[in-house]
Amino acid sequence: MEDDLVSSLTYQVKEEVIQNYVMERRLLDLQIEEVRKRAARVSIQARVTGKRLNRLALLMIRPEMIDRLVEVLRLPNEGFWKGSLEQDFSRKVRLIQVRALTRKGKFRKLVIEAYSRFYERMQQYRRHYEDLSQECAGVNRNIETFAKNFDLLAILNFLRNLDMRGLERKKILGENFTAKELATLDRNLYIGPISLDKFDIPIPLDVPETNQVEGKLSKISDEIYRKYGDEVRKILE
């Protein structure tokens, strides 16, 4: 009789632990889902920033001048940002309206202004990226605390020791588990840390401020105008 009472109490305690696990797990799942949504928004910001870089590449006219730009800005030779340079120009990004006394001066001003706007957009993207990174770190701390508070092995053993009729009569962890599902339950119980790598979010570029490269950009724009004046004039029309 006493053994039955102890067993009953033990069972109830373990059930309560599982219910607490369910509640805490749902809260974590909501946090992770919010990070996923935010990551999707940051990914859009990356594409918008990439279009500003793409507009700058359009002004370079030729691949060899794009290479010069890459060298001046110390851009990576591969990855998302390199891909933005190589894409066809997006008509969703308007060319900038600038004024100057000569076409050569206008083109120079256009190149510098295009870079300035790209630089500002990159700084905005960096802030979004860093905020998302901090949010990921916070959720990962919660995941770590969650793992410390619950003995997943004990929960797993408890569920696997329940008879199947008991599982059919009541819901455990919000689901009616079959024998096949119990075999993979350990993977379902575990929550791994989240990272920006899993969301495929590009790292912001560390590009120089406009005043630091204005002279070099002016030289590049003057060279482009000298070599490919007809194509530059089409852009300025």
Mean pLDDT of 158-163: 55
Helices of type H across the chain = 2-59, 63-73, 80-86, 103-149, 152-161, 164-169, 179-183, 185-189, 196-199, 210-227, 229-236
Residue range(s) defining the domain that contains residue 148: 2-236
Lowest mean pLDDT among 5-14, 150-159, 175-184: 5-14
Q: What is the pTM of this model?
A: 0.76
Number of domains in the chain: 1
Torsion of CA 15, 20, 25, 31, to 10 degrees: 170
Could you count the other beta carbons within 10 Å of the beta carbon of residue 189?
16
Read off the pLDDT of each residue in 147-153 and give the average, rounded to a whole number: 63
Most confident of 103-112, 156-165, 179-188, 203-212: 203-212
Q: How far is CA 215 from CA 5, 52, 56, 121, 157, in A?
A: 85, 20, 16, 21, 69
User: What is the pLDDT, as a whole number, of residue 3?
Assistant: 39
50: number of Cβ within 10 Å? 23
pLDDT band of 147, cuts 50, 70, 90: confident
